[in-house]
Amino acid sequence: MKSIAQLARLSWHYLWSRPLAAVLNLLVLTLGLAAITLVLLVATQLDKAFERDLTGIDLVVGAKGSPLQLILAGVFHIDVPTGNIPLQEVQALQANPLVAQVIPLSLGDSFQGARIVGTTPDYVAHYGATLAQGTLWRQPMDAVLGAGVAQGGLAVGAAFIGSHGLGEGGHAHGDHPYRVSGVLAPCGCVLDRLILTSTESVWTVHEAATADEPEDLEILKEEREVTVALLRYRSPLAAVTLPRQINSGTEMQAAAPAIEVTRLLRLLGVGADVLRAFGGVLLAVAAASVFIALWNAVRERRADLAMLRMLGAPPGRVAGLVLWEALWLAALASLLGLLLGHALAQALGWALQAQGLLPVSGLVWLPAEAGVPLLAALVAALAALLPALQAYRTDVADLLSQP
């Protein structure tokens, strides 16, 4: 054990006897590992987020358009909806024997970037969310804040005014302020980023904004719409017939989340693969760089190594010095690479959060990250293999014959 401690200490001195080479190798190795850590963190969290938000939703029904857009807008709330669909059609779906549950969602307004979603309490129950404070909405214009939205400072009892549109800059519905009736506990799902209210609230705000005359108001009430309906099948058989029925027999569009998300992940996967490959290239460059540095170091220190052999060090111990130098680099690069990877993930998370997109955090640590130091050690050990072998074969006779 003491021998290993000596080996580690000595190799540390040797490593930093060439500070420029050590720093450059460390930098390249760190960047490669950081890229791989970033991909691991982001891909895992996005996969989990998709899986969590999609749980229990078999079909998403909305206006005709891009099915992927419908899923992104209706389930993940990261895109604009394709349009609205008549309430009557949604009610007809509710009566369909193939359908177990329909959750209507009415979109259109937002508050400080958070979407206001008109829905039913079933939506909250679907994700198993619970209230941290207050109650669910009991009357139109009551609103419940997702945990993330509540961090903006609004509390139970506070009033706020929604603005038209899902982005910043829409006109304010000043005549119809919302009142916060409750705040949801963090659920780690899409609800954290939403403001929930009854569908009636959304209708009230928009009908009042659209109607110029009392007669208009009556007409609008008769032709009420929702934006999206989330469906759960009563039996797997519905998957075969219901989407086709909706797509060919109505003005609506039915999109199966599983299919669309697979398509989306395939698209995102290309990006992840590119980043992963970039990390791989950086690691390969780092391996080559470490190899060259160690190879030169062994050549420069040939006499030192021979002196060690003369002093009685077995060849394995001399080779171990070179290997340990590489392992020090791997250890330092792993630490820095993991920290940098997490810092980048956190920065990306802030950027995505600012745009109301998917939640990504750098504060999450994954078991798979244990593979990063192992990967670094493997790369370093491979790079050190030949130089270590060269050190192992150090010929002491060279030392004796040097003038």
Q: Which residues contribute to the site for another protein (CB under 8 A)?
A: 2-3, 6-7, 10, 13-14, 16-17, 301, 303-304, 306-315, 317, 396-397, 399-403
* ∠ CA 189-193-196, rounded to 5°: 100
- Judged by DSSP in three states, 287 sits in helix
Nearer to another protein, 249 or 312 (CB): 312
Distance from C-alpha of 223 to C-alpha of 303, rounded to nearest angstrom = 91
CB of 333 to another protein, least distance (A): 21
CB of 291 to another protein, least distance (A): 20
Residue 88 host element (H or E): helix 87-95
Nearer to another protein, 3 or 248 (CB): 3
Nearer to another protein, 12 or 365 (CB): 12
CB of 394 to another protein, least distance (A): 11
**Neighbour tally for 138: CB within 10 Å:** 9
> Which one, of 128, 112, 104, 86, lies nearest residue 178 by Cα?
112
CB of 385 to another protein, least distance (A): 21
Residue 79 is given by DSSP the state S
> Which one, of 104, 39, 75, lies nearest residue 260 by Cα?
75
CB of 319 to another protein, least distance (A): 13
Which backbone phi and psi does 303 adopt, to 5 degrees?
Answer: -70, -40
CB of 329 to another protein, least distance (A): 15
Nearer to another protein, 10 or 336 (CB): 10
Buried b (16+ CB within 10 A) or exposed e, 254-270: bbbbeebbeebeeebee
Nearer to another protein, 19 or 367 (CB): 19
Which backbone phi and psi does 320 adopt, to 5 degrees?
Answer: -60, -35
DSSP class per residue in 111-128: ETTEEEEEE-HHHHHHTT
Nearer to another protein, 287 or 308 (CB): 308
- Judged by DSSP in three states, 181 sits in strand
Nearer to another protein, 372 or 388 (CB): 388
CB of 186 to another protein, least distance (A): 53
Nearer to another protein, 248 or 402 (CB): 402
**Neighbour tally for 277: CB within 10 Å:** 12
CB of 79 to another protein, least distance (A): 59
Distance from C-alpha of 36 to C-alpha of 397, rounded to nearest angstrom = 46
Distance from C-alpha of 181 to C-alpha of 133, rounded to nearest angstrom = 8
